[in-house]
Structure 1
Amino acid sequence: MTPLRLGIDLGGTKIEIVAMDAQGALLLRERCATPQGDYAGTLRAVAALVARVEAQLGVSGVPLGMGIPGSLSPLTGRVRNANSTVLNGQPLREDLQALLQRLIRFENDANCLALSEAADGAGAGAEVVFAAILGTGVGAGIVVRGQLLHGRNGVAGEWGHNPLPLASADELARPACWCGRRACLESWLSGPALAADHLAATGQALRAEQIVARLREGDAAARDSLDRYAARLARALAQIINVLDPDVIVLGGGMSNVAELYDEVPRLWTPHVFSDSVRTVLAPARHGDSSGVRGAAWLATT
């Protein structure tokens, strides 16, 4: 039988599982809603997904990798820095390994995106890949010469909780991020952040995807909101280019589906990059919204 691996992406709104073969082909994919504010319920939901998929495939005890918002502390082994705050401080690894009766490889969800896209996605063959999630939260992962970069403190790629570069007084006045800091990139570049910015500017309570749809219908206010978003993203990514100088920047998460960003942002980042040319490529994740969970599955045998 072809060796299998399972990958799970534990997100703020959904939990996704895939079964993948040794060549990276997806054999099965399922999702369920993430129980909101319910840690025990989240454990049960993950276990139910694993049991259902293994039953459908007629297997058990398949190697499992898991992407989570935040990361495991090198000091305590417990979850830290998760925007799904119900996970913070919890012994997720120990609880799930006991529940599922197997070892599980854990990584930050943006690291899983980076691993997937560097392996056989938009960053395949590149020496340095910076992969950013622009979804319910904002984070990033870094792959250098095929290897994930973790860093001395295990926070390499924690881009979402750096301050927005060149923030205006109005931008600094935004209410504090859930982490307690002000002007975090997550507060400006997530999907909910676009919605909040549009609400503040227009009084219209729309989801990010509705704002983009209205832009494409010619709505001027929606155009202004996306222009502000693109300018902020350009400033934030220019800082990454100045520090890391990646070959490829890959975008994942819901905002990565906004095609207009791939023309606008490189045009806007140029004045902020300390170079006479900018050859960094900005690209959407080749594997789309399956990329992070594919990266989690790759963990199972790495």
Structure 2
Amino acid sequence: MITCFDIGGTTIKAATATGPDTVTPVGRLPTPRDDFELFAASISGLVEQGGAPSGTPISISVTGVVDPETGVTTVANIPCIDGRNLAGDLGNSLGRPVLVANDADCFALAEAFAGAGRDHRVIFGAILGTGVGGGIVAGGRLFRGGGGLSGEWGHGTAVATQVSVPPFDMPHLSCGCGLVGCVDTVGGARGIEKLHRHLHGVDLPSTAITSAWENGDPGAAQTVDLHVELVSRPLALAVNIIGPDIIPVGGGLGNAHALIARLDAAVRQRILRKIDRPLVVPAQLTIDAGLIGAASLAFSEGIA
């Protein structure tokens, strides 16, 4: 048995796991953001609450970036672990082996072991949430690229400026990463909202835009057409580079199944591989994916 954690900027969720897809929730606590000793004590308390035997492993899904070479985590919204070797520091504090991966990687692992990627060899988990991210699982193992940044298809100047949707010209928008023209600026939920504002001068939440589109609204249809064109091009490039067998889509837009079907059709038209089944699909795990991913991390890495 292991204890797995899904750690975000506001909440720590814990569960015990006896397999990569068998988790039992233990509880949750507010995330201590500024005090590492309190952070470690919160983790320890949840481990004890779950009844894990002494010395059994801990596996963590965390918001942010984890460098696989140094173990250093970059977690801007949890200052007490930002810049730390989280696995090493927690392991020393609690006397247990600790594995840590970022939340997009754990999402991909969860879908690989218990979701839409089950029985597939190469899985590219794509996040279309507040922003755009992703993770890669190949042969049952997480692919950890240099600096912990593999699968980050949301960044880099990749967004087209000439499109087939009126008004045909698309300005590059500034991204929080410091670049311009990133998929992250237009691809996620906030991105489709920016596109709708750009086209129509109206602020609507992404859920209202996709709902209006499904109900035949022409303005929302124009927004969706533009979104699909802008996102399908870089996603098709990612497919050609990575060669995934399946792309489960998580995040808020992953719940818009009609939109994901449109995106799938556009991507399959643009890739080298000819495939007559859905490639880009909604994620199957919308609840506790972080915990399942953390469990999958430990069992796939052989520490459980």
Matches within 5 A, 1:40-119: 40=34, 44=38, 48=42, 51-52=45-46, 54-55=48-49, 57-59=50-52, 63-74=57-68, 76-80=70-74, 84=77, 88-97=82-91, 100-119=94-113
| RMSD value, Cα | 3.3
Q: State the match for 1:181 in structure 2.
A: 179
Pick the aligned partner of 2:5 from 8, 17, 24: 8
Matches within 5 A, 1:9-48: 9-11=6-8, 15-22=12-19, 24-28=21-25, 30=27, 39-40=33-34, 44=38, 48=42
Residue 147 to residue 199, structure 1, CA distance change in 2 (3 Å): same
Contact 1:34–1:45 at 8 Å: present in 2 too? yes
Kindly state the Cα deviation for residue 188 of structure 1 after the two structures are TM-superposed.
Answer: 1.7
Pick the aligned partner of 2:213 from 199, 215, 220: 215
Cα deviation, 1:74-121, whole Å, max 9, x if unaligned, reads: 5653224x5758565344445544565533211122221222222232
| C-alpha distance in 2 between matches for 1:196 and 1:88 | 30
| C-alpha distance in 2 between matches for 1:50 and 1:206 | 43
Q: State the match for 1:267 in structure 2.
A: 265
Contact 1:285–1:291 at 8 Å: present in 2 too? no
Residue 59 to residue 150, structure 1, CA distance change in 2 (3 Å): closer
Contact 1:83–1:178 at 8 Å: present in 2 too? no
Which segment is superposed worse, 262-271 or 105-114? 262-271
Q: Which amino acid aligns with 1:132?
A: A
TM-score (norm: length of structure 2): 0.79
Q: State the match for 1:127 in structure 2.
A: 121
Residue 22 to residue 91, structure 1, CA distance change in 2 (3 Å): closer
Q: State the match for 2:165 in structure 1.
A: none
| C-alpha distance in 1 between matches for 2:141 and 2:51 | 33
SS at structure 2 position matched to 1:160: coil
| C-alpha distance in 2 between matches for 1:17 and 1:65 | 10
Residue 275 to residue 133, structure 1, CA distance change in 2 (3 Å): closer
Kindly state the Cα deviation for residue 283 of structure 1 after the two structures are TM-superposed.
Answer: 1.8
Pick the aligned partner of 1:246 from 244, 247, 259: 244
SS at structure 1 position matched to 2:257: coil
| C-alpha distance in 1 between matches for 2:41 and 2:204 | 34
Does 1:295 find its partner at 2:281?
A: no
Kindly state the Cα deviation for residue 202 of structure 1 after the two structures are TM-superposed.
Answer: 3.2
Cα deviation, 1:231-274, whole Å, max 9, x if unaligned, reads: 22221221122222211111112211111123211222244223
SS at structure 1 position matched to 2:226: helix
| C-alpha distance in 2 between matches for 1:20 and 1:214 | 41
Kindly state the Cα deviation for residue 158 of structure 1 after the two structures are TM-superposed.
Answer: 2.0
| C-alpha distance in 2 between matches for 1:208 and 1:83 | 26
Residue 69 to residue 58, structure 1, CA distance change in 2 (3 Å): closer
Q: Which amino acid aligns with 1:159?
A: W
Q: Which amino acid aligns with 1:112?
A: C
| C-alpha distance in 2 between matches for 1:167 and 1:234 | 14
Structure 1 stretches of 5 or more lacking a match? Answer: none
Contact 1:7–1:298 at 8 Å: present in 2 too? no
| C-alpha distance in 2 between matches for 1:14 and 1:191 | 22
Cα deviation, 1:157-188, whole Å, max 9, x if unaligned, reads: 1222233353449544312x111111122222
Cα deviation, 1:183-234, whole Å, max 9, x if unaligned, reads: 1222222222222332333333333223333434444333332332222222
Structure 2 stretches of 5 or more lacking a match? Answer: 163-167
SS at structure 2 position matched to 1:288: coil
Contact 1:198–1:205 at 8 Å: present in 2 too? yes
Contact 2:159–2:172 at 8 Å: present in 1 too? no
Amino-acid identity (%) = 31
| C-alpha distance in 1 between matches for 2:153 and 2:213 | 28
